[in-house]
Chain A
């Protein structure tokens, strides 16, 4: 779950170096630079989890909030689900009863990649994933990250799909029947978070 969330961070990507030089043409670099601009946003999302245990995916919904100073927060619509907070200090699950959990140490590799995406540190991502960009004349695009042979990352493939400067879908794949697909609704840019929102959804 932790790792499928990171793509949403693409909303808040700060400027970065220019890796994947061989794969990225100038228009792609410009597009990524646009995506990388820090923003404060809020968006609804739908997550489809495919697991070998079930014949059909498990579908959950929620809202993602990004504050340029505080990080990212995911709140699910299920009443007992924790708020997921990702910021410079790492990952935190805040349960409805007030309990707080941090990520287990074994998630360190994936969290590092997650943080690399949060910071749009493609130099770090480049060490674990090969990039395949594709585009169409109508402005739709996709960035495919395929895990390298010597990478210890959990996910074998990450796919980002968008239109112009907007991200619309993310797919995180561990195995063909263990993957997560996330679709994002229309994004609300620069929303005003109240003090209560900040206290509840960030740290």
Chain B
């Protein structure tokens, strides 16, 4: 074997070994992800998107909603016992940190106990601020303690005459200022309004690990299965349903894995089938496989070396790299001429090979400056794959310089008469222009997900049962400290009808005023005045002994620091309420809800409305616009390269072919009414690059050597077929990309076959 071939073989083997070793050294759980939220940048500058991402990764994402359904006629006692057994089994597992059967009301009772124990810290300051304001408004002659005692007694009397008094008799003895009683209106919207169903138990649970991690999926499902078994000890016929991000994440992972296998298998089958139609020496195709494998290996290795976490969708989209990589092999081997050395062949094909690969490389390289991780990763993947594929092709086939695929002779000439070219070009350009006027963008993050209608339906049913409706508005108020967040939330509450756990917390000003020594002295004087006022109003002398004792004890103790009080209180919030506030190193946030959507005239500082998927879709639109700009840059580079390699006259004609093919593909899809998205753009960029390849080779196509045309035809058809396979994908984004590229390639092939752009040198 000549030395040059030995070097080529060694280089290929060394590269394969290096990439293989690198991939084997990777921790797949760490490097690969199926999480849709990771398609957005972690440092996304849009605050809503950033917040949405953090909510998914925080406690909200770990919530699992469970419904246990029993047959009609099941005893309520047995059903309740089954619910308790299920929750206990979840808690006993290492996968869950909390589980509450909602009917038990245990967490509401825990909240009631918490608020009662801290009522003077949390609720008295706000009440006191209101009373003091009323005192100043009245300009009363009595001292504040005496006035306050009279007013509190009157309010107590009015409460006892109200229809709701009977339910609060026990509470009023320890809370005659009605701090907790008046709170019920504010606290009620915070609890989920579950639909009462006699044969159902609802359980709210929180997993230990995040839903996107392995520990947050299978162990969670195992624990749920075990808990259902425990519940069946009480009610053997009970059935369990659950929903949570973990379930969607696990399903998406499985579906995407199946999708990758399915698409790759189908694409390879199509490529082989088409090749068999065009080539006599079918077994020679085995030579294509090493090139495709090395190209894919290099692409994966480069992508994982650059990005610490890679979304598997990159591999789904990148699976079509096999269709691109075989192009160079076909062009190189099929263009073989008798009595021409391998080196001469390379020299003859250098410009179209470099031009085609160079434009594809440049086009996808432009995507690597995108903000969107998916687009960046795809750019690196394809750009690296193109370079590796081209180099591997050149090296590999240098080992077999006399390899001949022996194409079947196909006598086919569709060249258009010269006089028809310009009118047809104008007509096609006109059609593309008309279609492009109908172009409609619709960016939807959900097009990236594998559709799971049954999971979605079950999720919606369970969320409805848990009282989680999508009809209201959700807002988040953030602050660097509890004091700042609470102050900002007050600005929101003053402007909008919102419910939040923040309403149970004092404002910093009110707390400061209530804990001032002068106020404490007034409150100390208030206690005997209140006893006298209630006795005078006909209350039993000892009716409020517990209140008197508790309040005196509170006044004798030093007040807690505001930040400590709120931090400690929120840390002890039970059940679902714990999700309504969040504190981390970046600050504090309060979640607020409103029963109906509304628009704030001016959003208070630190507050933003979460519009759910719509907000993320708007973000996606922004990314699409940025990608469109990058694609235009890529196309400009393509034109430039074509002009540099072939001169401006030919270069512009070469570049015009992919541009018209792309415009026409977009026009046809738009006329079909297909909504366009980011993935049509990515497809268009890939299609432009492929079509440009064919234009370059068409320009060097010698009519005396028909195998050149056969190479273009075969590579075009295999590429179109492999992208058309993507149209069968259940993931809408992948199908959109496949349709775009397949159409562009088909149009480009037709243009080459008809020589519409007069690229073909005439004999």
Contact = CB atoms under 8 A, between A and B. Distances in A.
Contacts of A105: 103, 105, 196
B163 A81 contact: yes
Interface string B180-206: 000001001000010010000000000
A46 interface: no
Interface in A65-105: 74, 76, 78, 80-82, 84, 93, 99, 101-102, 104-105
A202 to B, nearest CB: 16
A178 interface: yes
B103 A49 contact: no
Interface stretch (A22-30, A33-41, A51-59, A163-171): A51-59
A53 B103 contact: no
A119 interface: no
Given A1-B165, A82-B163, A84-B163, A53 B185 contact: no
A53 B169 contact: yes
A1 B160 contact: no
Contact of B160 (A55, A58, A74, A99): A58
Contacts of B538: 54-56
A167 B163 CA distance: 21
Nearest to B160: A58
Contact of A53 (B105, B160, B166, B167): B160
Give the interface size bracket for B toward A.
20 to 34
Interface in B155-185: 157-158, 160-167, 169, 172-173, 185
Interface in B661-675: none
Contact of B166 (A4, A93, A101): A4
Contacts of A93: 163-164
Contacts of A58: 157, 160-161, 165
Interface in A1-15: 1-4
A49 B166 contact: yes
Interface string A102-134: 101111100000000000000000000000000
Contacts of B172: 53
A42 interface: no
Nearest to A180: B166
B737 to A, nearest CB: 50
B543 interface: yes
A60 interface: yes
B188 A51 contact: no
Given A105-B103, A105-B105, A53 B543 contact: yes
B162 A78 contact: yes
Contacts of B173: 52-53
A56 B539 CA distance: 8
A105 B167 CA distance: 13
A52 B540 contact: yes
Contact of A1 (B163, B185, B196): B163
B166 A99 contact: no
A54 B539 contact: yes
Contacts of B540: 52-55
Contacts of B188: 101
Contacts of B166: 1-4, 49, 180
Contacts of B157: 58
A114 B401 CA distance: 95
Nearest to A59: B161
Nearest to B167: A1
A171 to B, nearest CB: 14
A101 B162 CA distance: 14
Contacts of A101: 185, 188
Contacts of B169: 51-53, 178
Interface string B130-172: 0000000000000000000000000001101111111101001
B164 A54 contact: no
Interface-centre pick from A54, A106, A178 (highest chain B CB count, 10 A): A54
Given A54-B538, A55-B539, A101-B188, A49 B105 contact: no
A3 B157 CA distance: 21
A106 B160 contact: no
A111 B695 CA distance: 80
Contact of A49 (B165, B193, B544): B165
Contacts of A78: 158, 161-162
A49 B162 contact: no
Contact of B162 (A3, A74, A81, A99): A81
A2 B163 CA distance: 8
A52 B103 CA distance: 31
Contact of B163 (A53, A76, A99, A108): A76
Interface-centre pick from A52, A53, A55, A60 (highest chain B CB count, 10 A): A53
Contacts of A108: 196
A56 B540 CA distance: 9
A86 B378 CA distance: 62
Given A1-B166, A2-B166, A51 B103 contact: no
Given A56-B538, A99-B185, A105-B105, A74 B163 contact: yes
Contacts of B544: 53
A159 B523 CA distance: 45
Nearest to A3: B166
Interface in A129-157: none
Contacts of B160: 49, 51, 53-54, 58
A102 B538 CA distance: 32
A128 B167 CA distance: 20
A1 B164 contact: yes
Nearest to A104: B167
A106 B105 contact: yes
A36 to B, nearest CB: 25
A110 B470 CA distance: 32
B161 A2 contact: no
Contacts of B167: 1-2, 104, 107
A105 B195 CA distance: 11
B108 to A, nearest CB: 8
Interface string B104-144: 01000000000000000000000000000000000000000
B742 to A, nearest CB: 57
B186 to A, nearest CB: 12
A62 B737 CA distance: 71
A76 B172 CA distance: 21
A60 B162 CA distance: 8
Nearest to B537: A54
A152 to B, nearest CB: 11
A60 B165 CA distance: 12
Contacts of A180: 166
B142 to A, nearest CB: 24
Given A1-B167, A105-B103, A53 B162 contact: no
Interface of A: 1-4, 49, 51-56, 58, 60, 74, 76, 78, 80-82, 84, 93, 99, 101-102, 104-108, 178, 180
17 contacts: A1-B167, A2-B166, A3-B166, A4-B166, A49-B166, A51-B165, A53-B172, A53-B173, A53-B539, A53-B540, A55-B539, A58-B157, A58-B160, A58-B165, A76-B163, A81-B163, A104-B167
The 9 closest A-B pairs by CB, nearest first: A1-B166, A53-B543, A1-B163, A58-B160, A55-B538, A60-B161, A58-B161, A54-B538, A81-B163
Interface of B: 103, 105, 157-158, 160-167, 169, 172-173, 185, 188, 193, 196, 538-540, 543-544
